[in-house]
Amino acid sequence: MNSGEFLSIQPQELQFPFELNKQISCTMQLTNNTNSYVAFKVKTTNPKKYSVRPNTGIVLPHSTHDLLVTMQAQKESPADMQCKDKFLLQSVITTPEITVKDITSDMFNKDSGNLIDEWKLKVSYVSPPQPPSAVQEGSDEGSVSDNGIFDAYAAAPRTQVEPEDDSSQVNAMISRLMEEKNSAIQQNNKLHQEMEHLRRKISQKRAAILFIYVFIGELIGVLAGYIVKKI
């Protein structure tokens, strides 16, 4: 697993099984191995060609966050299947109170004074997996039955009906599931923040009550001493 300073990224190189006129997706997983909350932002050199969901977010301490990177359908094949596109992942340490809505571009600006970690990812095209041949060897040869009659059925090529291409529906489903997962993580993050805030309030109230008890005890002691002296 390749790592930046704050986040571990898998994979380092995004590979797309290139096919013409077909939308293709791949996943990227971010892992936070630190004890801090890490905000991230993803950029690309070709934003019209790719989409990243989500392109910003927060990775909780010692947890993972999945991204879906989708390449739009291409009408032409690149020369020699070479791709010069790149992605840039920026990350910065943040506070537990921050939410995704609070993330701004200024947080990843080097002039902001924040310590920013950057990791570049290359893009490569690979050949799509080839479906197994539907015609077995020797299936185009006719056979002769025991009675010497030519078996025309055996000579007929056997074809296999391929399922309808529903890659767009699959990509949409994957994207929706990942958004739901990341939304659940963000809700958990918010709940954790609220619990921390409540815990702090309870601690402050306990400290105040303890102070009152100590104060009352000291006051009673002073009054008791004063009464003894009067007697």
3-state helix, strand, coil in the chain (%, to 5): 35, 30, 35
pLDDT in tens, 28-38: 999 999 999 99
Structure tokens at 224: 């008791």
**Is 77 in contact with 18 (CB distance < 8 Å)?**
yes
**Closest Cα to residue 51, out of 67, 65, 66, 71?**
71
If you average pLDDT over each of 99-113, 143-157, 163-177, which comes out highest?
A: 99-113
From CA 218, how far away is CA 68, in angstroms rounded? Answer: 64
Distance CA 36, CA 96 (A): 8
Interval 169-215: pLDDT, tens: 666 677 677 777 777 777 776 677 777 777 777 878 787 788 888 88
Instruction: Identify the residue whose tokens are 């020699």.
Output: 80
**Other beta carbons within 10 Å of 89:** 21
pLDDT of 26 strictly over 70: yes
* pLDDT (mean) for 11-34: 95
As a residue count, the chain comes to: 231
DSSP letters for 27-67: EEEEEE-SSSEEEEEEEES-TTTEEEESSEEEE-TTEEEEE
pLDDT band (50, 70, 90) for residue 153: very low
DSSP β-bridge partners for residue 13: 122
The full set of domain ranges for the chain reads: 2-128
Can you tell me the distance from the alpha carbon of 37 to that of 91, in angstroms, rounded to the nearest whole number? 10
CATH 2.60.40.10 fits 2-128, yes or no: yes
User: Are 120 and 87 within 8 A, CB to CB?
Assistant: yes
Average pLDDT over residues 33-51: 96
pLDDT (0 to 100) of residue 10: 95
